[in-house]
Copies of this chain bind each other. A is one copy, B any other.
C-alpha cells in the first residue's frame, strides 16, 4: 500500500483534534437538548432533483453512481432517482418534515450534527467535506416570533462555552432591507441585497460603484444604502438611526418591529453577544424575515461561523406549509481554526486516566482485575501492553499524557507528573475530577 498524500478539502484530525471536535459537538448537543431540541439525523443522500432546487448551488453537488451499476437501472439518468450527497442540513430537514409530518409534533425543535459535502475548490477554512451543526424550529402553518430570539440565544450559549476570544451574533431582518430599498425607490431589491452582501469583501466604495452600474441607484440612494449598512448597535438605537435616514415604508416598520423584539429579548439575557447589524444580507438564500451571521472577535476574516434565518416556507406539500427559523454552525471551519491558531488544546490524547502496570504476562489477570475495579467506578483505564520494565511502562503513560500508573503488586498508584507514589485500593481510590477525562482547554498564547 503506497503512502498517500492527504486529500485537499477533506480534513481529518489526529486523536487530539478529534477530542476537540467531539467536545464542540457535545457542547452544542448538550446546550440544544437543555433547551428542548431533539436530535435527528437524515440520510446523507437526496435525489438530485431536490438538491438542485436552490439555483446557484448545483455546480457544487457530488453525484453518486455505482461502480458497476446495472445498465437497466434508471438511477443514472432520472434526476428524481439519481442521488447526490447533501450540501447542507436544511434541504434534508425540509424533506424529512414533509415525509414524516404525520409522526412529528409541532413546533418541531430539532438539532442535527452531520457531515455535508460540497465539490467546491478547497481554500483556507473551506472544505469539501465538513460538519454542520444545525438548530431549527419548524411550525405547522404558523411559528411564533419569539423563536427568532431563542435561536441566537441558544447559539450564543454554545459559543460562550467554547475557547473563543469572543463572538458577536449579528442580526438583521429581510423586511428592513427590502422595505428600506423599496422605500428608497429601488425597483429590484434582491439585486441591491446581492450587491450589499459583498460589503465585507469589497468595501463600501466598490459596493457603491456596483449599485450605480447594475441597478437604478442615484448617488443619494447609494449614500443611504451605505449609511444603513453601517448601522450596528447592541441596543434598540438602530431604530432611531434608520429613521434619521428618512425612508418610510410599512414593510420597513414591520421589519424594525421584528428586529427590535429579537434584540430586546437577547440583550436582556446575553448583553453584547447579539447585536443588530443592518448590513447582514445573507446573499441569495431565501430568507423572509430575521437573518443571522456570527463572527469570532479577531477572526472576522474566517467569515460567519454561524448563520441562518427565518423561512416563511421551509417546506410545503401544497396543502400545509411549514415555516421555520434556523441557524447553522460551520463546525469544521470553527474546529479547524481552534486547532490551527491554536485556540484550544487537550490535556491528553487518550481517554485513560490510569495505566495499570503488568509485572509479568502470568499476572496480567491481576492487573486486569485492578483495571476492571477502577473502570467499574467510572475511571477510564488501560492495562500495559507488555510486561516491560516499569520504566518503560511509565514512559508509555507519559508519552500519552496518562497521569497515573498503578502497580498491582505494590498496591500503589504513582502520579507520574509529581512522582508521588501512595498506597491505594482500586475499590476506593478517587481520581481527581480534572484528571478523569481529557479536557479541552484554551491554548497558551504562542510567542
Give this chain's copy count.
2
Q: In the complex, which residues of chain B have a beta carbon less than 8 angstroms from the beta carbon of A268?
A: 365
CA distance A1 to B349 in the complex (A): 47
CA distance A318 to B1 in the complex (A): 7
Q: Which residue of B lies closest to A36 (CB)?
A: B382
Known A1-B317, A18-B39, A34-B351: A63·B61 in contact at CB below 8 Å = no
Q: B98 near A14 (CB under 8 angstroms)?
A: no
In the complex, A35 has a CB within 8 A of chain B: yes
In the complex, A191 has a CB within 8 A of chain B: no
CA distance A233 to B245 in the complex (A): 86
Q: A15 near B110 (CB under 8 angstroms)?
A: yes
CA distance A52 to B85 in the complex (A): 21
CB contacts under 8 Å to B, within A1-50, are 1-4, 6-7, 10-15, 18-19, 21-22, 33-45, 47-48, 50
CA distance A11 to B205 in the complex (A): 51
In the complex, A65 has a CB within 8 A of chain B: yes
Known A33-B351, A64-B64, A317-B1: A100·B14 in contact at CB below 8 Å = yes
Known A14-B100, A40-B15, A64-B85: A45·B352 in contact at CB below 8 Å = no
Q: B63 near A66 (CB under 8 angstroms)?
A: yes
Which of B63, B109, B269 is the one whose CB lies under 8 Å from A382?
Answer: B109
Q: B67 near A37 (CB under 8 angstroms)?
A: no
Q: B18 near A41 (CB under 8 angstroms)?
A: yes
In the complex, A103 has a CB within 8 A of chain B: yes
CA distance A100 to B129 in the complex (A): 19
CB distance from A108 to the nearest CB of B (A): 9
Most chain-B Cβ atoms within 10 A of its Cβ — which of A38, A41, A94?
A38
The contact string, 1 if C-beta is below 8 Å from chain B, for chain A 44-87, is: 11011010110000111111111111000000000000011100
In the complex, A360 has a CB within 8 A of chain B: no
In the complex, A368 has a CB within 8 A of chain B: yes
Which of B40, B59, B68, B110 is the one whose CB lies under 8 Å from A67?
Answer: B59
In the complex, A251 has a CB within 8 A of chain B: no
In the complex, A375 has a CB within 8 A of chain B: yes
Known A99-B6, A103-B14, A368-B269: A380·B33 in contact at CB below 8 Å = yes
Q: B380 near A12 (CB under 8 angstroms)?
A: no
Q: B59 near A62 (CB under 8 angstroms)?
A: no
Q: B350 near A36 (CB under 8 angstroms)?
A: yes
Q: Which residue of B lies closest to A57 (CB)?
A: B67
The contact string, 1 if C-beta is below 8 Å from chain B, for chain A 294-318, is: 0000000000000000000001111
Which of B6, B38, B100, B269 is the one whose CB lies under 8 Å from A372?
Answer: B269
In the complex, A104 has a CB within 8 A of chain B: yes
Q: B43 near A10 (CB under 8 angstroms)?
A: yes
CA distance A43 to B41 in the complex (A): 18
Known A43-B129, A48-B67, A316-B1: A381·B35 in contact at CB below 8 Å = yes
10 more A-B residue pairs beyond the given contacts A33-B437, A45-B129, A64-B85, with a C-beta to C-beta distance below 8 A: A1-B95, A1-B316, A6-B99, A12-B41, A18-B38, A21-B41, A34-B378, A61-B67, A109-B382, A269-B372
The 10 closest A-B pairs by CB, nearest first: A36-B382, A33-B351, A36-B352, A66-B119, A10-B43, A61-B67, A59-B68, A15-B38, A62-B64, A34-B380
30 contacts between A and B (CB under 8 A): A1-B315, A1-B316, A2-B317, A2-B318, A3-B317, A4-B50, A7-B45, A12-B96, A13-B40, A14-B100, A14-B103, A18-B38, A18-B39, A19-B39, A33-B351, A33-B380, A33-B437, A35-B381, A36-B351, A43-B129, A48-B67, A59-B67, A61-B66, A62-B66, A62-B67, A63-B66, A63-B67, A64-B64, A67-B84, A105-B399
